Structure 1
Amino acid sequence: MRQVIGLDAPERGDFARLHGRQYSTVTQRAGTRIALHIFAALVVGWMCRGAIPSMVLGIWGAALTCAVVYSYCLDRRLGDADERAFTMEESHRHALASAVKGSVWSVGLCMVAIFGPADEVAYLWPVLAFLMMASAVSRYGAPLSTIAFSLALSAGSLVAALATLNYGLAAIIIASAFFACFGVIETARMAIGARLAEFEMHEKSETVSMLLREFEDGQADWLWQIDTNRRLRSVSPRLAFAMGKDIAEIEGKSFLQLISGEGWKTGQFPSSIHELADRLKGKESFSNLLVKALVDGQTRWWEMSGTPMFDEDGVWLGFRGVGSDVTTQRESSEKIEYLARFDTLTQLPNRLQINESLFQALAYAGQWRTRCGLLMIDLDRFKSVNDSLGHLVGDKMLADVASRLKPLMGEGELCGRLGGDEFAVIIRDASDRQRVDTLAKAIISALSTPYHVDGQVLYVGASVGSAIGPRDGNTVEELLRNADLALYRAKDEGGGGHFEYEPALHSNAEERRVLEFSLRSALEKNEFVLHYQPVVDAKTEELVSFEALIRWNSEEHGFVSPAKFIPLAEDTRLIVPIGTWVMQEACREAALNWPENVKVNINVSPEQLVEPDFAGTVVRALSHSGLDPKRLEIEVTESIFMRDANVARKALEQCMALGCSVALDDFGTGYSSLGYLRKLKFTTIKVDRTFVQGAAQNSPESLAIIRAVVAMADSLGMTTTAEGVENEEEAEMIRRLGCNKIQGFHFGRPMPSEDARKIFRNAAAGARKRA
């Protein structure tokens, strides 16, 4: 009630918006109220003539005139209250002026009670009641002022009635004041309620207008309307623009025919148009229906909503609705969906789609009691292409690989890229076991032919591992894992072949996992030991060096062959800390327990050479042990040039600068190239045991290779060491071929450090005896 009267600010809407409009109506009847007050004053003056002194009546009239004029001035100022910031203080000031005006009238009635006869008050009250009623009717927009005037006027009248002992009149005055105030409040409440409703309707109208303007301004949105024959009516400009025609061209035309294109003649409609036609035929409301429209020979995607129209009698009049061109959004979503399922480089299905297709193939095999196949493909020597020619050339080669794989696929077969240089092929029905092997061989053959990229001829091979579902796995994960194990086996065998999954591969992988776990703690448990194999001078058979060979005696697995744990250490890069330990231990043993003329040969992995601080590792091992750098010979294989060759060469050159020598081990068994000998000045070339054994069996090729290596080493100022010499005949043959040093079981097997020391002690004892 306080908010309605104007004593408090309203909860909804500000004070000026609600009460300003109401108070602005006060100005409209300001003149009428002055006339009424003049009329009432004249009536009172005429009735009180002779009863009240003229001077008193004159003073009262002057006071009333001032109050009425001041109130009139305030009324006139409220004419623009609905257009400016009308405040609560203004309403209170206006109410105070009304209260003063009512008080003047009350004082006049009290004068009558004092100076005039007692019954004169009862005669004058109707005049004041008339003023109170007129104020309530004409100033309902200013409820606080009206209540203030009525209460002030009634208060003086009540005093006058009680002073004249007219209790009945007093009761009438109280009742009149109450009902006058109550009527003002109720009228004001209805006016304020109407004003609030008007505000809400205005805001809603503005919101709707704004939305309609935004909708009409949108270039992709339009309104549509059709009659009962599905012909367009009241075509909007935006709809005409969306259809690429003028309004006159499409007004009254069949809507379905316009968006069907050539399909209208052939009857071949997109399924979405069939769905739209069914909705229109069933007189069903629909929302966000995606329709494929053919407009001017172009395919457009429209998102449409519609509702049926009925007249007052329920007769169907047609449809109306809104539409939006979502072609761009549709194309974007299709592109995103494509990118999520296809590899952008090769345009082949990616890992996600391969997994889904493999899942479906397994489900098909389970349903029809058949088999499905999975082939995992990995390119051989692809990393060297990336390292030497860059990833751009590698990417072009991968795209060429994809183009070679696609033509090999038959019905029910899918090829995709898993990532990197790994691909996969899914055979939905692999009942014919021969098909798996035939396809694998065809893939290896196709991918092994030369590639012509940017004017260069490149050679890579391919290895394939296969698994059959559900025999080799009931789930996608199992089948992928087992095919990968078969691929790993193919890579271990040198690549270029196809291997099928066998249960033994899984046990080997599990054994490898367990070994890796134990290998990670072998150094901490001191499970490694070094054995030393002698290397002798070919002519004098004097001991010139020992090759340090690591052995692992595991607490859990017992003695583990180096052929098992060395490749595992290299794959997991555990070879780096293990190699550091070997370097330190071998240098310490040689410095403390060997003669100064005996060298130590230490094998170094490519993984160690690419470490940034490899030369520092060598320096620390030499300094801590006190070994002369000339007594250290580092043995490397040709594989160091297949990965970060520049880094490896730089590391070896730093070691040679310290005074160490470098030997090229297993020469001729890897990717042999005379260019390696030009890139780095090796001290020794070691001839692999396979050539020695071949020469012992009079193999012309092996003999020719050894002679060529010896001749080349001599011309380059290098020495040669023959490995794998097992008897005197082989040793004699090696001497004839010209090798400088010999290593093999004939002169000693790898032995513990204590046995190596015995050799020196025995040699020293023999020398003393001869002396």
Structure 2
Amino acid sequence: MTMRSAAPDNQPPDKSPVPGDERSVSRDPQVDEQVGNERKAAKGEDRKTGARNSQDRRSPIRDLNASLDLKVDPDSKDFPDHQYYLPRKSRRLALVLALAYAMAALVAVDVPLGWPVAAAALSLFIFGFGKRLAYCERNADRTQASRYGLLFVGVIIPMLCTGYVFASWVQSGLAWQWAIATLVCINAACAAILSMRVMSLFAAKIAMWGAFALLDFSLVSIAAIVGATFALVLIARFEWHSAEKRRIANDARDRVAARAEDILRSFEETGHGWFWETDRRGQISYISPSAASVVGYSPDQLRGRSLSSIVEAAPGAVAPERSLGFHLSARSAFKDIELRAAGSDRLWSLTGRPVYDGFSNFCGFRGHGTDLTEKRSNEQQVTRLAHYDSLTGLVNRAQMRDLLDQILAAPAERGGACTLLMLDLDRFKQVNDTLGHPAGDALLKQVAQRLERVLDGIGRCGRLGGDEFQVIIPGSQDRDKLGFVANEIISTLSQPYSVEGQGVIIGASVGIARAPMDGETSEELIRNVDLALYAAKDAGRGKFHFYNKSLHSAAEERAELEQDLREAIGRGELELYYQPVVFTATEEITGFEALMRWNHPRRGSLSPEKFIAVAEDAGLIDKLGQWALRKACEDLASWPESIRCAVNVSPLQFSQKELPSIVANALAHSGITPSRLELEITESVFLNDTAGTDAMFKALKRVGVRLALDDFGTGYSSLGYLKKAPFDKIKIDRSFVQGATKPGSRNGAIIASITSLAEALKMDTTAEGVETLDELELIRVLGCSHVQGFIYHKPVSAVDAGRLVEGSKIVAAEGPQSSRGKRQVLLKRVFISHNGNRMPATLRNISSGGAMVDGLWNLPEGATVQIEFSAQVSARANIRWSIEDRAGVEFTLPLSRRQDGTFEVLAGTRMSASG
């Protein structure tokens, strides 16, 4: 054990071993010092915590420590007196000596005068004031040498005097048998009072018996003293070893108790759980402060109350045989019983077991509790997310499917009929690309609110994902009524929106299918309503279309495309084009992305968007993927070693266990280094089985290829998987790049965040779709390591790609300065309508996206105006900036150009210049 403050000299400065002082004996000083420091820290924290809350001193672990801990008050009964040479209870020795002297005087009927009387008085005086000497030994400035001096004065001198007195008494006529018996009694009293003080006890015995024997100074007495000394040394050594074992055991127990207490306290302070204890009567004897505060009491106030009084039955309580009261009465262990804290909405889970003493007597219960409130809230949130769309709060795809299945499965006499409406927003992608995804999300929320207002309880609305919504109207409905509802939906959703202070106009297309005439199963009905939606979109924006069997012709066309694709694979109509990937800092080509093209004999060149979905549905994606990997590796083998090539891997390919072997075979066939091949994987792969996904990543990394996360930011799983998926590169989607240079755009901040994240994870970044010099400059400033887009080069054939990487591999950026459309400078008189006011103005510098207008005074930014080009032609626009009588406007819808480059709204207007 260690001490501080009141007893700092328990660790003497000279660190020399002191017999009888267990603290000075150590097998490893560093270990002892570490143990001491841990104990000091634990005790210091105990004092702080005890001052904070008296309940802490009542904890089960503290009860154990209380029996071991050292007090800093020397007067305390628990003070470890045996740690010092001089006992505080030396007055008892004075009483023993006084009684011994008195008995000897009565037996001898004589008292030796002179020096013996002085020696007796001195021994009584020293032992009588021994407590003072004990306090002196405990002085903070006391050295080890001074402690030896105090041992000599406080123990050796009075015991020498005692032995001398009785030796003199024997010479004066006292029977030596009485003297020996008296000294044995004094020796026993010393052994009791000096217990655990090996050094002091050894010195006291030697001094007393030596003085008694040496007065005669015969050979026999000297031999007796030597023998006694030897015996006492053996006894002292045995006692020293026993004391050392006890010290080590106490230190170990103290260390374990301190650490257990620290762990207990740390656990309670985290808030993850708490502890409780009851006595045999079921009354609380200990409870953590965190639990007591939940029910509005302090631990002291709850002590003595029953455990059942602070809890209530939770919603959906367990059966009586599993209740808390049952287990407490039956004295049986219980686990994870859910209860509600009394007078609170907090949910608890209690676990406990009965406690018995060494005689199998029941002592009470002891256990722990955890707060389930947050866990249950999270479970409810997860359940909600499983059935509702997190963005709009509408029912999600899975729940809509379940609802549709329930309606269609109902017997005909009880229902079974319903109407399914499929909605797709027009021009929503334009809002996402120009204003950013946050604006798109805000717009979707407003769309959901308007849909619920239109339906007004006649049907259930859900969001399937993206800009797709679905409506289920139960029962058999009249066709005209359904047309009216569809028109109301289109009209309501086509009204202007205010998103981030800007006016936005979108539209909606609606497909309608009715059950059971258009489908008796949910699969059939959904397939047919999709066909109706495609027909509505083909008919133009803002239309609705009922399903009819003729719509299957589109499906037939798709089937024809599938057959053509099967034949095209065999005829070699597929070709890979390569778009350069450029290192931003040096403008050097470091690699290419392989892009598939289909040279259709009738339809011409088809991009992957036209046939990849068909290939996936037809089960041809595996063949296409293997061909693309093999062809890309073959072309890569003919290019310089420093060039890499990226190949897209579809989610279906990624889910196939054979993919690593397919990649390895393509690498072996071409003979290229695996690290030159980069596989681009979209975020959608994370929607599959997590274990299988992780295993696939590890297998591909074992092959040695690089992995790139494609279209980053367009999905919902990226951040959760970046920390464990072994990606080498992040590709920033073009939707973030386009419009990033426009004033007020947040895309730049998003790109900066992505590049910072990639840099922290030691990943490269590639910005896709860079088409203007302004975008390129922004990408450089934001720290993207690579660039891909028309600003450097369009996709080229393998032969042309080989020419690009011959020599220096440096390419120059070529393209427009900004994405701003071509402007026409003109002076045209127009009328501006705003809030019922019609004002004349002059139109200047018009482009497809906006114009500059003179003559507008005091129109605020963000205001929506109607520009009348003629009596028949007008356009809606938003004020983007305003300075005095001049303003910049942005058209809600881009203006259409004629073949000669002029705008249709200005037909017949003479242009003064163009730029």
TM-score (norm 2): 0.34
Q: Which has the larger radius of gyration?
A: 1
TM-score (norm 1): 0.40
Q: Which has the higher helix share?
A: 1
